[in-house]
Amino acid sequence: GGSGATQSDLLRARMRLSLQEHLWGFYQTNVNIPAEEQATARRAALDICAELRVFLHAKLPDMPLREMYLSGSLYDDLQVVTADHAQLMVPLILEKNLWSSIPGEDTIMNVPGFWLVRRENLEYFPRNSSYWDRCMVGGYLSPKSVLEVFDKLVAGSINWPAIGSVLDYIIRPVVPSETLTLEVQYEKNRKLYVDFLPLLVMEDGTSLIAKPHRLAAERHENLWRQSFRVAETARLRALDQEDGGCRCACLKVAKAVCKLNPALNTLNASQLTNAILLLCEKEGDWTQEALADRFLQLLRSLVGHLEAGRLPCVLSPKVNLFCELTEPEVDELGYTLYCALSDPEGLLRT
């Protein structure tokens, strides 16, 4: 029959088949982290979290904090390549009547996905009525100033060598560091980086984290970043659970590819997660056999989003998850991914 498979159809089918095998092979050898390695890393992070809780309670009993906790891909089975980082979430308690949040789109910066936290009622509750007034800059709660409070504590007044020797780890604050990070050597060749991440949970449930805008302009300094991580990760996992799908595997492969290719380092987990969630709205087949097709589609969709300069956040479409990339970064990412479309296996060579 004239409509039979042509030579090139066959070739393409064979290429897809081998990409499929390569992706799962890559997943087994490069992406997935052995359970034992993950468990030891989690243990080390937990030990340090416990020490810090004791220290903060003793040293600063009146600092209004909720209990600190660990989070991140290490705890969601979404970490890739090496078990080497986690976030220590530090939830601040704010008095409801003294602080209010203003969405970034309603400010002169006009950045959806970022917020200002304004001090209210200063006339009735003067400065220092709230513990966190010490971190107020120009009438707003400054994430930078909050980080500095913890930086002084963590880098200045905690005896890390002493704590480290009790736990049998080598712990030291990483300097300089944007985000206040501890480096923990917990085995001879194993290091773990723990970021302090101060967090505000507003009355409507909005989570804001003290992670600066990447394009560190002075006018951005007071902005808190809205975090969608918990909800977007849960959504991805739920979709996989419904149909035994490969969305999380696809995400992990993509994360590993971005981690191992310097030209793709600027893409982060949230961007990749959202690109996959957007793809899920169009594409139903996420069976294990479809991994290669979906992976190629993910690359193609990223190229498209980069061309448009826009990747909407699934949970809040006005948020552009590419808004912190510079033009040269967009160009380099777009070019690298575009080239990868014709040689996807090149991405897997490490």
In the bound complex, what is the minimum distance in angstroms from residue 131's beta carbon to ligand GDP? 23
In the bound complex, what is the minimum distance in angstroms from residue 284's beta carbon to ligand GDP? 25
Q: Which is nearer to ligand GDP, 119 or 255 (CB)?
A: 255
Q: How far apart are CA 349 and CA 344, in angstroms?
A: 10
Beta strand pairing status for 170-174 and 181-187? Answer: antiparallel
In the bound complex, what is the minimum distance in angstroms from residue 47's beta carbon to ligand GDP? 18
Q: Which is nearer to ligand GDP, 229 or 294 (CB)?
A: 229
Show the CA angle centred on residue 42, arms to residues 266 and 273, nearest 5°. Answer: 35
> Helix (H, G, I), strand (E, B), or coil: what is residue 53?
helix
Q: How far apart are CA 189 and CA 208, in angstroms?
A: 35
In the bound complex, what is the minimum distance in angstroms from residue 238's beta carbon to ligand GDP? 16
Query: Which amino acid, one-letter code, is at 107?
Result: T
In the bound complex, what is the minimum distance in angstroms from residue 230's beta carbon to ligand GDP? 6
Q: Of the candidates 296, 302, 297, 281, which has an alpha carbon nearest to the alpha carbon of residue 239?
A: 281
Q: Which is nearer to ligand GDP, 44 or 269 (CB)?
A: 269
Q: Which is nearer to ligand GDP, 162 or 230 (CB)?
A: 230
In the bound complex, what is the minimum distance in angstroms from residue 95's beta carbon to ligand GDP? 23
Q: Of the candidates 32, 146, 43, 20, which has an alpha carbon nearest to the alpha carbon of residue 79?
A: 32
In the bound complex, what is the minimum distance in angstroms from residue 73's beta carbon to ligand GDP? 3
Q: Which is nearer to ligand GDP, 98 or 197 (CB)?
A: 197
- Could you tell me what percentage of the chain is helix, strand and coil, using 3-state DSSP and rounding each to the nearest 5? 50, 20, 30
> Helix (H, G, I), strand (E, B), or coil: what is residue 100?
strand
Q: Which is nearer to ligand GDP, 63 or 70 (CB)?
A: 70
* Interface with ligand GDP (CB under 6 A): 71-73, 78-79, 85, 87, 197, 209, 211, 227, 229-230, 255, 269
Q: Which is nearer to ligand GDP, 87 or 101 (CB)?
A: 87
The total number of residues shown for the chain amounts to: 350
Q: Which residue do the tokens 């191992």 mark? A: 260
Q: How far apart are CA 54 and CA 46, in angstroms?
A: 13
